[in-house]
């Protein structure tokens, strides 16, 4: 077997982070498939990813935009070895797994994650996609609809719109000039009009483009490298190798000469005034992997300290945000991008903003590349690599398979550097200077986006973006060529936050502590501490919540709290940026009645950063000069939230509906308009007068003495501030908020209309309230978790894959502040009433059929094991552990060991008990117990479905609801419908024969009546269901609160064990 592959790098030859306990082997199979196998003895999650070095750029060769993306969708729908279309997803669901894929310009990436004991079975199913996929005819139309739905999801997304606009104005000879997503027109209507069968084109695309020599595979498991290698050989050696050439575009510029020095103006969907400056670079920069000259310029242009471009422009109130960096477009080409978020004044002065950008570049180029600056960047790249922690399995394999081509198919980067190629190794002033030579006016393209722009005569084909495309004005070009030195612009000073001490104070424990200890428990301070005993990294996290009752008093208070956070963040931008570029993060945001502060990174300098930020916060007084730009920034974010995809909005609407003391974005906007500087100043001065309650978590590489010093520091800074109350019970009453609760069997419906008038998608969240969050309901919660695990794959398979309701379909466990339950969410062009109808039909069929005779004890045991593995999944890094602890502290339940207790409960749950639970909570009609909330977010656009599409959907639904879907599978039913020319009687005749119906007349009568009625009106008249609410206040005024959170265990049991050390 050893002669079946070649090892390219192995064992100690591969340079790893100091903390990395994994083992790696990089090899090439005899079919030229490049493979990285990763042994991780401690993992409980295994996975694999295969990246094909072909993507949407290949579409042009076939005349079908979106073909590569369509291939990615249809590839999952069955193989010769595993023909059922949901075999792969069902296997993963039963073993606590999941999968996904994406199509990029030059890559298509497929990946999955599964419990470690079931890697081989998943790997075998995965491999078949690249050996003998079926590309089933029956799935073709449904997956075209899925691609079309995915495209419609992006139609109102400015990132997609502006990306497509840039491609439109690029070189027609370059494959970048294309539409890559695809839709119903490009994948169905247009090919059909030319007499082209798109499935035939797809088969040719797959055979001509998918070749083992263009594939990179990464497999991660806890098996040895030899076992993983053996599995790869057995399962992937049959992937065909066609000896294809890697995509190559040298000599074909991204933009033709006549497309340079151009100004694009466009109107976005979102409220935004953006100036984007791009400089084409005729290299993908992979040859410069050791010196990375682009990083020198992105570091300086993206800096936020005094003397930087952003600092200067913010002082003019012209710019709020700036980002800069190099972006690889494809082989042979990259772009250096500078993106500035302008204020309205900045938009009016955009030419001056651009001139200042070139003033800064002029300043940088006047002096030779600075070794000390480069060394700071290089040192941090080495430190970050050395102490890099694990990420999740799916993320790891997907990113590595995509990167593997760098080492597999060019000679620039040696295979042993496949992990540490991100390090900045060589100071090369000549390469830095040469890169800077591209950042000049003659190599410039500008894009301005704003809703304030007019005179935009053109309209982009795929997204409908209004735009103009003209030469940059000649006088502006002359100004840019003649910029001089601006004394306000200069290089940053040396960074004092660079960490020096990387001593790890703890050590790995055989049985790590599952919770932090409470080291201070008073009416004013609640401080938690845990020394890292799992990851042994020189990093730490300090999270602080400062409760101040005025912040939760009203919508005006909430708006002023948000403004204060943004103004404070803005005032400390210089300080915080120096910290951020050396791995120290800090953030502040308003949270209910509190300011939430989070600090993280290398613990050496973390307390110093905390002290600077916290002292400034307690003494902070806003100044009027930055109020309007910050108010504009906050207003813009609130307005734009209403133009996000409906499925990203609906969760917030649900929580606003049920939670107390919440406010809609519209209410916050109205409050912002009323707030003056005097109002804000008075609020800031009185903010602490009602007292504070400070919750803190100190977690990571801190010995107890260091944690005690941090607590003392916080205590001293907050000493001038009074406590909320001298009675602990009263404090907890004030800081723990609740949710409003439904009565047993109640059904409430909350309806809203989308703000965006042209978004075609509606969305529903269907929530079943099951129980209150409390220790007594732990068993009920575990039963709910188990239901969600079992429901996940059938829900997606029925509502998304089979019924094609929309691209976005998911289900799962759902929490509010007081109660838990389960939800199903669907985004679709169909109306919400129809979506609720289909959800309830699915739940009814799931309860009566899916959990019927075919639901065996063995199947039940597998789902229990899947949930157990999910709950016992190890955390990947210190940040994940900290986030978990902080969630349990903030929610007021302090249930740090919930997962372990849940597993113990799970082991005792029987199938009989589970089915009884399901019958009580999923049943419809008289006797069911669960309350339900249907949240509708309704499109303003009327859905357009022709009679044939409705007819086909209704027939499929009829067969599903009447348990005929197994007798007449989907593709056969589609053939019957088409052969019968969508005639009800003709379809009924064929079905009678196919199903061997004894009483054909009765069947035909029932079938034709229901099909005709549903085709005309797909939604039954009893939908919508439930009591209608259009305002959350109506619901809250008529429903009781569900109870404040209470600790699941007595807090004294979590006290630090050394009594004398408590603070």
For 12-34, write each residue's pLDDT tens digit.
899 999 989 999 999 999 999 99
In this structure, are 820 and 866 located in the same domain?
yes
Angle at 280 between CA 487 and CA 246, to 5 degrees: 145
For 115-153, write each residue's pLDDT tens digit.
999 999 999 999 999 999 999 888 898 899 999 999 999
DSSP state of 483: -
Give the bridge partners for 468, in sequence order.
265
Is the per-residue pLDDT at 859 higher than 90? yes
Q: CB burial class (10 A; 0-12, 13-18, 19+) of residue 526?
A: buried
Average pLDDT for 452-478: 97
Look up residue 952 and give its two tokens.
């086909």
In this structure, are 797 and 857 located in the same domain?
yes
In this structure, are 717 and 819 located in the same domain?
no
In this structure, are 168 and 47 located in the same domain?
yes
Average pLDDT for 522-537: 96
Residue 1062: inside a domain: no
Q: How confident is the model at residue 262 (pLDDT cuts 50, 70, 90)?
A: very high
Q: What percent of the chain has pLDDT over 90?
A: 87
For 497-513, write each residue's pLDDT tens digit.
999 999 999 899 999 99
User: Is 877 in contact with 390 (CB distance < 8 Å)?
Assistant: yes
DSSP-derived pairing of the beta strands 45-52 and 215-221: antiparallel
Residue 860: inside a domain: yes
For 202-224, write each residue's pLDDT tens digit.
999 999 999 999 999 999 999 99
Domain boundary (187, 202, 236) is at 236
For 871-886, write each residue's pLDDT tens digit.
999 999 999 999 999 9
Question: Which run of H or E residues covers position 1058?
Answer: none
Q: In what order do the strands lie in the sheet with 931-938?
A: 808-815, 819-828, 762-772, 931-938, 747-753, 1027-1029
Distance CA 303, CA 297 (A): 10
Phi, psi of 196 (to 5 degrees): -100, 130
Bin 136: left if φ > 0, else alpha if -120 < ψ < 50, else beta.
beta
Q: Which range among 306-320, 396-410, 533-547 shows the weakest confidence by mean pLDDT?
A: 396-410
User: Is 509 in contact with 530 (CB distance < 8 Å)?
Assistant: no
Q: How confident is the model at residue 1061 (pLDDT cuts 50, 70, 90)?
A: low
Distance CA 1010, CA 984 (A): 10
Containing structural domain, residue 996: 947-1016
pLDDT for 927 equals: 63
For 898-957, write each residue's pLDDT tens digit.
999 999 999 999 999 999 999 999 987 666 678 999 999 999 998 777 888 889 999 999
Q: What is the largest CA-CA distance in the chain?
A: 93
Phi, psi of 865 (to 5 degrees): -65, -40
Average pLDDT for 556-569: 97
Question: Which run of H or E residues covers position 670?
Answer: helix 665-674
Question: Which run of H or E residues covers position 709?
Answer: helix 704-717
Residue 403: inside a domain: no
Q: Classify 934 as helix, strand or coil.
A: strand
In this structure, are 977 and 898 located in the same domain?
no
Q: CB burial class (10 A; 0-12, 13-18, 19+) of residue 477?
A: middle
In this structure, are 337 and 198 located in the same domain?
no
Average pLDDT for 2-16: 90
Q: CB burial class (10 A; 0-12, 13-18, 19+) of residue 1003?
A: middle
Residue 396: inside a domain: no
Residue 437: inside a domain: yes
pLDDT for 968 equals: 80
In this structure, are 633 and 771 located in the same domain?
no
Which of residues 575 and 924 earns the better pLDDT score? 575
Alpha-carbon 711 to chain mean position: 34
Distance CA 1030, CA 1001 (A): 47
Phi, psi of 827 (to 5 degrees): -110, 135
Domain boundary (454, 481, 508) is at 481
Measuring CA to CA, which residue among 516, 295, 491 is closest to residue 384? 295
Phi, psi of 418 (to 5 degrees): -65, -15
Average pLDDT for 773-785: 97
Residue 762: inside a domain: yes
In this structure, are 965 and 880 located in the same domain?
no
Residue 317: inside a domain: yes
pLDDT for 926 equals: 62
Q: Is the dihedral of CA 613, 615, 618, 624 positive or negative?
A: negative
Is the peptide bond prior to 1024 cis by the omega test (within 30 degrees of 0)?
yes
> Which alpha helices (DSSP H) does 456-552 contain, by range?
474-481
Average pLDDT for 354-363: 99
Number of domains in the chain: 5
Return the CATH number at 888. Answer: 3.30.830.10
- Average pLDDT for the chain: 95
Identify the top-confidence range among 55-59, 243-247, 405-409. 55-59
Helix 573-580 and helix 555-571: axis angle, to 10°?
Answer: 70
Q: Which range among 134-143, 236-245, 651-660, 810-819 shows the weakest confidence by mean pLDDT?
A: 134-143
Q: Which amino acids are annotated catalytic?
A: 72
Is the per-residue pLDDT at 969 higher than 90? no
Residue 593: inside a domain: yes
User: Is 661 in contact with 817 (CB distance < 8 Å)?
Assistant: no
pLDDT for 650 equals: 98
Domain boundary (735, 759, 777) is at 735
In this structure, are 682 and 804 located in the same domain?
no
Distance CA 609, CA 541 (A): 12
Distance CA 69, CA 76 (A): 12
Q: What percent of the chain has pLDDT over 70?
A: 99
Angle at 68 between CA 66 and CA 74, to 5 degrees: 100
Q: How confident is the model at residue 411 (pLDDT cuts 50, 70, 90)?
A: low
In this structure, are 762 and 730 located in the same domain?
no
User: Is 613 in contact with 597 (CB distance < 8 Å)?
Assistant: yes
Distance CA 357, CA 444 (A): 12
In this structure, are 663 and 757 located in the same domain?
no
In this structure, are 601 and 549 located in the same domain?
yes
pLDDT for 308 equals: 98
């Amino acid at each position: 077997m050893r002669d079946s592959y070649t090892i390219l790098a192995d064992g100690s030859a591969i340079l790893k982070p100091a903390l990395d306990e994994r083992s790696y082997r990089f090899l090439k199979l005899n079919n030229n498939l490049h493979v990285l196998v990763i042994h991780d003895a401690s993992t409980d999650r295994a996975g694999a990813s295969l990246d094909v070095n072909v993507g949407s750029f290949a579409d042009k060769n076939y005349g079908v935009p979106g073909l590569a993306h369509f291939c990615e969708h249809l590839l999952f729908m069955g193989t010769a070895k595993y023909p059922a279309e949901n075999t792969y997803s069902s296997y993963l669901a039963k073993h606590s797994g999941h999968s996904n894929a994406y199509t990029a310009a030059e890559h298509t990436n497929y990946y999955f994650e599964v419990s470690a004991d079931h890697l081989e079975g998943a790997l075998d199913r995965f491999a078949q996609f690249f050996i003998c996929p079926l590309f089933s005819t029956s799935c073709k139309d449904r997956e075209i609809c899925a691609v079309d739905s995915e495209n419609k999801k992006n139609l109102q997304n400015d990132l997609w719109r502006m990306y497509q606009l840039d491609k439109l104005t690029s070189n027609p000879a370059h494959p970048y000039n294309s539409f890559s997503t695809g839709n119903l027109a490009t994948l169905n209507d247009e090919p059909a009009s030319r007499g082209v069968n798109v499935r035939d084109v797809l088969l040719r695309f797959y055979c001509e483009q998918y070749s083992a020599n263009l594939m990179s595979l990464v497999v991660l498991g806890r098996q040895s490298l030899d076992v993983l290698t053996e599995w790869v050989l057995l399962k992937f050696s049959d992937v065909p190798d066609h000896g294809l050439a890697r995509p190559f575009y040298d000599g074909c510029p991204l933009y033709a000469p006549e497309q340079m020095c151009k100004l694009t103006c466009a109107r976005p969907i979102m409220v935004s005034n953006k100036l984007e400056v791009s400089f084409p670079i005729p290299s993908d920069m992979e040859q410069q992997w050791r010196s990375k000259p682009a990083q020198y310029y992105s570091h300086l242009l993206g800096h936020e300290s005094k003397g930087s471009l952003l600092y200067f422009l913010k002082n003019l109130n012209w710019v709020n945000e700036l980002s800069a960096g190099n972006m690889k477009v494809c082989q042979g080409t990259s772009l250096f991008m500078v993106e500035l978020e302008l204020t309205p004044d900045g938009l009016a002065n955009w030419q001056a903003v651009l001139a200042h950008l070139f003033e800064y570049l002029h300043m940088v180029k006047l002096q030779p590349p600075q070794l000390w600056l480069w060394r700071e960047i290089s040192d941090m790249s080495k430190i970050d690599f050395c102490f890099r922690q694990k990420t999740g399995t799916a993320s790891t394999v997907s990113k590595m398979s995509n990167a593997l081509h760098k080492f597999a198919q060019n000679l620039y980067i040696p295979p042993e550097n496949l992990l540490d190629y991100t390090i900045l190794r060589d100071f090369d002033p000549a390469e830095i200077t040469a890169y800077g030579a591209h950042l000049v006016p003659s190599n410039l393209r500008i894009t301005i986006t704003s809703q304030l722009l007019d005179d935009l005569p053109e309209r982009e084909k795929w997204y409908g973006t209004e735009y103009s495309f003209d030469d940059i004005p000649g006088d502006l070009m002359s100004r840019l060529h003649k910029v001089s030195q601006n004394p306000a612009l200069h290089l940053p000073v040396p960074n004092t936050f660079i960490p020096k001490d990387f001593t790890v104070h703890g050590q790995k424990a055989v049985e790590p502590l599952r919770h932090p200890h409470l080291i201070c428990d008073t009416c004013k301070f609640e401080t938690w501490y845990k020394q890292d005993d799992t990851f042994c990294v020189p990093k730490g996290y300090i999270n602080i919540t400062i409760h101040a009752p005025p912040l939760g008093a009203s919508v005006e208070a909430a708006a002023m709290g948000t403004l204060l956070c943004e103004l404070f963040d803005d005032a400390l931008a210089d300080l915080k940026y120096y910290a951020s570029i050396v791995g120290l993060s800090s953030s502040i945001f308003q949270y209910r009645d509190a300011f939430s502060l989070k600090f993280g990174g290398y613990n050496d300098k973390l307390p110093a950063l905390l002290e600077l930020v916290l002292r400034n916060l307690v003494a902070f007084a806003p100044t009027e000069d930055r109020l309007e730009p910050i108010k504009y920034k906050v207003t813009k974010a609130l307005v734009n939230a209403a133009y996000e995809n409906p499925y990203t909005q609906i969760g917030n609407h649900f929580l606003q509906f049920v939670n107390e003391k919440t406010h809609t974005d519209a209410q916050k906007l109205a409050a912002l308009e009323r707030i003056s500087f005097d109002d804000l100043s008075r609020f800031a001065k009185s903010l602490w007068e009602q007292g504070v309650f400070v919750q803190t978590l100190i977690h990571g590489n801190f010995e107890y003495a260091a944690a005690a010093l941090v607590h003392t520091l916080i205590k001293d800074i907050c000493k001038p501030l009074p406590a909320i109350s001298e009675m602990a019970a009263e404090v907890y009453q004030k800081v723990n908020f609740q949710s409003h609760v439904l009565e047993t069997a109640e059904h409430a419906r909350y309806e809203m209309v989308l703000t965006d008038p042209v978004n075609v998608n509606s969305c529903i969240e269907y929530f079943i309230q099951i129980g209150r969050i409390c220790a007594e309901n732990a068993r009920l919660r575990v039963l709910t978790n188990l239901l969600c695990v079992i429901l996940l794959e059938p829900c997606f398979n029925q509502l998304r894959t089979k019924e094609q309701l929309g691209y976005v379909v998911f289900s799962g466990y759902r929490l509010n502040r007081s109660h838990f339950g389960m939800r199903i969410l669907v985004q679709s062009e169909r109306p919400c009433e129809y979506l609720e109808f289909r959800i309830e039909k699915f739940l009814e069929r799931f309860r009566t059929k899916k959990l019927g005779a075919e639901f065996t004890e063995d199947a039940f045991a597998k789902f229990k094991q899947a949930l157990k593995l999910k709950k016992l999944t190890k955390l990947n890094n210190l940040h994940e552990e900290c986030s978990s602890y902080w969630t349990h502290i903030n929610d007021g339940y302090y249930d740090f060991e919930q997962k372990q207790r849940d597993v113990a409960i799970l082991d005792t749950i029987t199938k009989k008990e589970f089915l009884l639970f399901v019958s009580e909570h999923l049943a419809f009609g008289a006797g069911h117990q669960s309350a339900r909330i249907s949240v509708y977010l309704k499109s303003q656009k009327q859905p357009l479905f022709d009679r044939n599409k409705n007819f086909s959907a209704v027939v499929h639904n009829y067969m599903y609801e009447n348990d005929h879907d197994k007798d007449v599978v989907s593709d056969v039913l589609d053939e019957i419908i088409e052969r019968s020319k969508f005639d009800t009687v003709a379809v009924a005749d064929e079905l009678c024969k196919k199903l061997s119906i004894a009483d054909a007349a009765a069947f035909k009568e029932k079938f034709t009546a229901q099909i005709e009625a549903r085709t005309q009106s797909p939604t039954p008249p009893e939908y919508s269901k439930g009591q209608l609410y259009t305002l959350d206040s109506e619901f809250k005024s008529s429903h009781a609160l569900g109870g404040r959170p209470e600790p699941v265990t007595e807090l004294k049991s979590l006290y630090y064990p050394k009594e004398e050390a408590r603070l």
